[in-house]
Amino acid sequence: MDHRFSIKDYYLYLILIALLAVALFIYNPVLGTLGVIAGIISASYAYRTANKFNEILSDQFQSLHKDFEKVTERAIFSMPFPMVVTDRGGVIIWHNSHFATLVEGENLRGNVLQKEIPDLGQQSEEEGEGVRAVENGETVTIGDAPYATYRNIVDYQRSGKADTLCLYYFVDRSDFVDMERLYEDTSNVVMVVEVDNFDEVVDAAPTSKKPLLIAEIDHRINEYFRSKNALVRKFQEDMYLIVMRKMDMEPIVEEKFEILDLIREIDAGNSVNVTLSAGVSREGLAFIDAYKEADTCLDVALGRGGDQVVVRTEDTYAYFGGKSKAVEKRNKVKARVLGIALRQLIEKSPKVFAMGHSNPDMDAIGAAVGVMRAAKNQGKEGYIILKESNPSIEVLLKVMEQEEPDLYKCIISGERAEELLRQDDILILVDNHKPSFTEYPPILERTSNVVVVDHHRRGSEYVNDPVLNYVEPYASSTCELITEMLTYMYDDIELTEFEANALMSGIVVDTKNFTFKAGVRTFEAASALKRAGADMSKVRYFFEDDYDTIVSRAEVVHNARVIFDNIAISRLDGDMPNSVLVSAQAADELLGIHGIKASFVLNKKKDIVHISGRSFGEISVQLILEAMGGGGHLNMAGAQVKSDDIDAVEEQLIQAIEEYLEKGEKEE
């Protein structure tokens, strides 16, 4: 703002004097003449006064400008942080001593700034050479320390040409970063630990050694976590609440929760190995929220079969352990309670819908048939949601159409189910708990009454708030679970011969004719189905293969190659209608080769590569295929990878196997 004065500032006064002089001149010429003379004198005085004031003001401005330049120059040279001035191209024109110390140089004039500080270099070829434009406050690394970078640009004329100077100064943020890191490292993490099989272990121990066994379990858990600076509190006989800092949790994660192995090594007269599961929350949550999250992670760990730890990360779950086979529980109380609860839910629902996974197998369809029997026993409308048939269930559906035409008419598409489904109807998911893997995912949004019955290890994707949840990885099949629930739901389950055969076929296919995961309760379920009229010769008819299937399966086995000494890998070329089934069967047959402990077969259908994995249990195909977005069981798992390049997927699979073997994951 300009505060200097000029004659213009007195125009109003001079005009008034002139008007008065004219008025006086008209009234009295003598007085008018004197008024004109007075006006001229006043104007002259005002002019001289304004010039004198302006000269004084100009001198003050010049003096202030010089003082300001001196202060600015002194301030810049005495700034306690590094500063540097460059031209438009980033060539250093001037720098202070702090900058020279920072980049460990002396006379840096003429050097390019980006060579001294690489983080300031160009990020793309399009921007050309020089120093990139930084956002004020942006953090760059100089040496090993973080610095906030600020830039001021000055445009000016030099030798008649426009030029630009850039002033950079850097503020050390090490203290702030250290404080931020300390805050993160000391943020609290909550863990909930449960001994999976506490009752079974204690019951199996001799009476005289039970107190010693319980004390040993308690001692190992307390000793391990207290050595990690954690607070441990036992709030049930088999459950512990643990609070610790993130910085203390990190070594535990790095050693992959050694407590899992330490607990499993307990030998205090127990004939059953002790295992535990745990859920770990994210850091920085309120204690109540952290406890709820840790408890949810524990549910996931138990749903995956136990003997593992599930850690909640920012957007997913991290799994540790899971190397042991899921142990069959002796207590049938859960099956009875859930069976009665399911019967009550069906009683309250006008209609019952059953849905398996996409491309369903015998276990999914057999379990859905069992659900239809439960609905029929309650006098409810029942529907099976099925997109289309596939070779693995084609024979069963044909027999259903002939022997049970009313049941066959209950099979509807997802779109039709969406039209029929109402909010108070019940939807039962069988042999699957992942919404994206269902036959028709949109229908899950139409009702809140969703029941999950599954025998696969629980993954990170799960149905949101099911009203009833029965996920038991120890079970051989979903058909086993459904059969067991039916026996508790009704005194007489009233299965027809076809329904009994359908449920039996699900057990047979998932146990490989009672050779895999067939426990005591598996045979009890099979016995119940035999009493209901199941005929094994007719069940076998469901699995008969045609000539092309047998030839294709033989080609897969013939073309297999062995990697890592004991893992067979092969692929099924060509998009056959039953290629997924053939791949699974071929993976089973590859296990029959002497020395093979695990097998994988790949098959490409359209733009998806299907992988079938099988093992005897020493190698966890579940953990391997989980790394590729799949899942399943320790000895039987699968994955679907969206890709047009089966070779690339095979390389990805081999890498996943290699990473698994490097981690030393094996059954103990």
Least confident of 11-20, 503-512, 546-555, 589-598: 11-20
State the residue for tokens 């086995």: 557
Of 25, 47, 76, the last residue of a domain is 76
Nearest 10 degrees: CA dihedral of 252, 257, 261, 267? 70
What are the percentages of helix, strand and coil residues in the chain, rounded to 5? Answer: 45, 20, 30
Domain count, the chain: 5
- Tens of pLDDT along 358-395? 889 899 999 999 999 999 999 999 999 999 888 788 88
Residue 16 pLDDT level (bands cut at 50, 70, 90): confident
- Would you state the structure tokens that stand for residue 580, as one six-digit string? 């997924």
Residue 501 belongs to what domain range? 332-542
More confident residue, 107 or 607: 607
pLDDT of residue 129: 53
- Tens of pLDDT along 19-70? 777 777 777 777 777 777 777 777 777 777 777 777 777 766 666 666 565 6
- Tens of pLDDT along 472-518? 887 889 999 999 999 888 877 789 999 999 999 999 988 888 877 78
Instruction: Report the candidate in 147, 185, 192 with the shortest Cα–Cα distance to residue 169.
Output: 147
Answer yes or no: do 571 and 517 share one domain.
no
- Tens of pLDDT along 286-310? 999 999 999 988 888 887 778 889 9
Residue 668 pLDDT level (bands cut at 50, 70, 90): very low
pLDDT of residue 217: 92
**Residue 227 falls inside a structural domain:** yes
Residue type (1 letter), 665: E
Residue 154 pLDDT level (bands cut at 50, 70, 90): confident
431 marked among binding-site residues: yes
Answer yes or no: do 413 and 529 share one domain.
yes
87 marked among binding-site residues: no
Phi and psi, residue 194, nearest 5°: -135, 135
455 marked among binding-site residues: yes
The answer, yes or no, to whether residue 544 has pLDDT greater than 90, is no
Residue 132 pLDDT level (bands cut at 50, 70, 90): low
The answer, yes or no, to whether residue 128 has pLDDT greater than 60, is no
Strand (E) positions, 457-582? 468-471, 561-563, 567-572
CB atoms closer than 10 angstroms to residue 640: 18
Residue type (1 letter), 41: I
- Would you state the structure tokens that stand for residue 512, as one six-digit string? 């490989």
The answer, yes or no, to whether residue 223 has pLDDT greater than 80, is yes
Instruction: Report the candidate in 635, 579, 586, 633 with the shortest Cα–Cα distance to residue 608.
Output: 579
Report the distance separating Cα 478 and Cα 514, nearest Å. 14
Q: What's the chain's average pLDDT? A: 83
Answer yes or no: do 572 and 529 share one domain.
no
pLDDT (mean) for 635-664: 88
String of DSSP letters for 286-352: -HHHHHHHHHHHHHHHHHTTSSEEEEE-SSSEEEEE--SPPPPPS--HHHHHHHHHHHHHHHH-SEE
Of 76, 104, 131, the last residue of a domain is 76
CATH number, position 287: 3.30.70.270
363 marked among binding-site residues: yes
State the residue for tokens 């369903």: 360
CATH number, position 127: 3.30.450
Report the distance separating Cα 588 and Cα 619, nearest Å. 14
Report the distance separating Cα 268 and Cα 503, nearest Å. 42
Q: How long, in residues, is the chain?
A: 668
361 marked among binding-site residues: yes
